[in-house]
C-alpha cells in the first residue's frame, strides 16, 4: 500500500457505504447494497447495486464501485466496506471478491462480517494481474 495513504477511517468508510446504499435501485429484491473504498491516492469512492427486470443483468455495488474507480482516474483499492439496507457489514460474493482483487493494492483490507481481513484472506490463492506479470504476460 502507498505510504501516502492516511490511516483508514473505518467509520467514515462505513458511512460512505451507507450513503451509497441509500442510492441503490433494488425494486425486485428489496435488498439495497452500498459499497465504499479508499483508493491509494486518498480518494473515497462508492457504489450501489442497480437491479434490472432481467435479473441476471443487474449490477452489484462492487461493480458500480469499480466502474467509478476507473471513471475517476483509476488507482488501487486500499480498504473496502460493503453494507446492506440496515447498514450491517456484507461479505462480497466470490465474483465480486475477484473483481475487487483485480483492482486491489497488495494487502487491501476489507471490513467483513467477521472483522477486518485482507483480500488474500477472503480470496486465497487468487489469480489476477500480479500472477500474469510473473509470467511476463
Q: Which residues form the catalytic set?
A: 62
Angle between helices 61-71 and 94-102 (to 10 degrees): 10
**Coil, strand or helix at 131:** helix
CA distances from 116 to 56, 88, 109, 120 (A): 30, 14, 6, 12
Name the E strands within 1-137: 34-39, 44-48, 77-83, 104-112, 115-118
Residue 56: DSSP 8-state: G
Amino acid at each position: 500500500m502507498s505510504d501516502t495513504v492516511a490511516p483508514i477511517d473505518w467509520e467514515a468508510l462505513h458511512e460512505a457505504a451507507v450513503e451509497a446504499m441509500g442510492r441503490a435501485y433494488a425494486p425486485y429484491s428489496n435488498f439495497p447494497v452500498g459499497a465504499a473504498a479508499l483508493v491509494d491516492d486518498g480518494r473515497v469512492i462508492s457504489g450501489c447495486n442497480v437491479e434490472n427486470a432481467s435479473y441476471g443483468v443487474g449490477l452489484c455495488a462492487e461493480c458500480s464501485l469499480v466502474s467509478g474507480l476507473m471513471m475517476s482516474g483509476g488507482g488501487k483499492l486500499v480498504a473496502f466496506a460493503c453494507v446492506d439496507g440496515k447498514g450491517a457489514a456484507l461479505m462480497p460474493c466470490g465474483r465480486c471478491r475477484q473483481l475487487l482483487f483485480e483492482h486491489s493494492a497488495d494487502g487491501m483490507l476489507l471490513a467483513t462480517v467477521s472483522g477486518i481481513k485482507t483480500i488474500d484472506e477472503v480470496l486465497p490463492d487468487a489469480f489476477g494481474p500480479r500472477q500474469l506479470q510473473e509470467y511476463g504476460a
